[in-house]
A and B are shown apart, each in its own frame.
Chain A
Amino acid sequence: MIASLALSRESNVLELNEERAARPGLAVSVRGLQRRYGSRVVIDALDLDINKGEFVALLGESGCGKTTLLRALAGLDQPDAGQIRAPERPSVVFQEHRLLPWATLWENVALGHEATIGRAGAAHALNEVGLSGRENDWPRNLSGGQAQRVALARALVRDPALLLLDEPFAALDALTRIKMHGLVKELVARHQPGVLIVTHDVDEALTLADRILVMRAGRIAASFQPKHHTPQALRSVLLDELGVRAH
């Protein structure tokens, strides 16, 4: 079982290489990316393509460089070498909601684009995440899940070509997380950005992603497409890749 999956993993990588030239609708393209902290290489000659409308999950142990990669794509970290072709302003949802406590919800959603998005646009985005009628409320009146939904509305109202999610549901309780998964899937299907989600959670990756990447020692060590596997089998392979024995 493991062996056959490993084989199909290889073929997925090949498949990806072929697609690269074929499709023009790339949300982000990374070539030969390298990032060092002192002598420690965090990202090493990394290549990555994400298509528009594609949902990619990035799994990996702590310290494998996955958050550094996301920050590089967000423009928050300067790589030492390599090339990133990304939209000028990708949207990011962080682990914390990062709402301005002194701004109302609609001001938070429209932050920086008050004139173009406007109150109506913000209200529409809030409605999309199930918070209609809360435009004038303060962030302090929100639960953790609600605050993260506002952060999602703030990310999507800008109609980004690339959406970066940095463990956005890690701090939420299990039930809220399940609801958020449904919401994110629906919103991504509607807005069609390329998505990269960094997560520790194998089940989250299986639920959300069209493609699951495993990062190890600064490189993409494995790539899987969930549609080609049964969830249970892929789950145990992924756990294996992550160094967890769970059979």
Chain B
Amino acid sequence: MSDLTSSRHGHVSPLRTRAGVSKATLYKWLSWAVPALVVVLWEAAARLGLITSQVLPAPSSVLGTAIDLARNGELFIHLGVSLLRAAAGFVIGGTIGLALGILVGFSPFAQALFDRSIQMVRAVPFLAMLPLVIVWFGVGEVAKIFLVALAVLFPIYINTMLGIRQIDPKLMELAKVIGLDWTAIVRRIILPGAMPSILTGVRYALAHAWLALVIAETLATTRGIGFLAMDAREFLQTNVILLTMIIYAIIGVIADALVRSLEARFLSWHANYAQGVRQ
């Protein structure tokens, strides 16, 4: 009976083309070929004068701008300032979100005390708070970090709380039978059990943090990737504007890779993130 549902009979042999390249490999190449082709066509169109550089500068020109800004060090200063803001906001918002999530996830009393209020504040789109934030903190660093922290707080809070709620009560019972003390319960059962959900929260939080940073850096600034873009707009330097967009994209990809590595580290026990036997 169990054989009917066993995967032994359900193996799909890898499809191969006549040349011997597997279809998966072919599709992988194709997925990279399309954007590459777009860049080539774009470059060609720019060089043939079909697109004016004011509207869309050639990729080679954007690359040249990147090299120039990197050479005089400006690019790294702006990048460093932006990353520092993001990191500070993330650490502050993430810590508060995690602490509140653990507290509310554990204790019905804490839930009664905090959850409704937090959910009310969460219902406000955080960008709508921008005017208020400026009134409170002006347009300095504090306002920017506050915005990022606010954007990070809610996804971390909600996913931490849900992760803790989803822990199997039977495992808590086992902890009682075995006689684990409170710290061991948190360390061995609560945190690892909630970790998949917490990391989902981190993933959302990174995306939100980035969005908040882009908005925050359009406020009066003299440094940061956002300043670079605003400044370029003043002087109609489309190639710099494009460069900042690409930098935001690259950092987004790196942040995602970071979360993936965290998942590989903390969730290797999970079938969905399996890496095999731990050594």
Contact = CB atoms under 8 A, between A and B. Distances in A.
B277 A98 contact: no
A101 B203 CA distance: 23
A76 B176 contact: yes
B278 A100 contact: no
B177 A102 contact: no
A112 interface: yes
A75 B177 contact: yes
Given A94-B170, A100-B192, A138 B269 contact: yes
Contacts of A89: 177-179
A103 B269 contact: yes
B50 interface: no
A136 B268 CA distance: 12
B174 interface: yes
A47 interface: no
Contact count band on B: 20 to 34
Contacts of A101: 269-270
A112 B278 contact: no
B188 A76 contact: no
Interface in B31-45: none
Contacts of A91: 177
Contacts of B174: 94, 98
A225 interface: no
- The 6 residue pairs across chains A and B that have the minimum distance between CB atoms: A102-B192, A102-B269, A98-B174, A112-B178, A112-B180, A92-B177
A140 B278 contact: no
B3 interface: no
B277 A138 contact: yes
Contacts, number: 59
A90 B179 CA distance: 10
B177, B193, B269, most chain A CB atoms within 10 A: B177
B170, B171, B174, B188, most chain A CB atoms within 10 A: B174
A89 B184 CA distance: 17
A76 B271 CA distance: 31
5 contacts: A76-B176, A91-B177, A94-B174, A100-B188, A104-B278
Nearest to A71: B173
A100 B171 contact: yes
B195 A98 contact: no
Interface string A60-101: 000000000000001110000000000001111010101011
A102 B170 contact: no
A76, A94, A96, A101, most chain B CB atoms within 10 A: A101
B133 interface: no
A140 B273 CA distance: 12
A26 B271 CA distance: 44
A75, A100, A102, most chain B CB atoms within 10 A: A102
A104 B278 CA distance: 8
B192 A98 contact: no
B189 interface: yes
Contacts of B173: 76, 98
Contacts of A76: 173, 176-177
A112 B195 CA distance: 20
Interface in B153-205: 170-171, 173-180, 184, 188-189, 192-193, 195
B197 to A, nearest CB: 13
A90 B189 CA distance: 21
B170, B178, B274, most chain A CB atoms within 10 A: B178
Nearest to A88: B179
A111 interface: yes
Contacts of A94: 170, 174
A136 B278 contact: yes
Interface in A85-135: 89-92, 94, 96, 98, 100-104, 111-112
A112 B271 CA distance: 25
Contacts of B274: 140
A90 B178 CA distance: 8
Interface in B234-254: none
Contacts of B271: 140
A67 to B, nearest CB: 13
Contact of B170 (A96, A104, A136): A96
B279 interface: yes
B27 to A, nearest CB: 30
Interface in A133-147: 136-141
B140 to A, nearest CB: 43
Contacts of B189: 100
Contacts of A92: 177
Interface string B226-238: 0000000000000
Contacts of B269: 101-104, 138-140
Nearest to B184: A112
Interface string B42-82: 00000000000000000000000000000000000000000
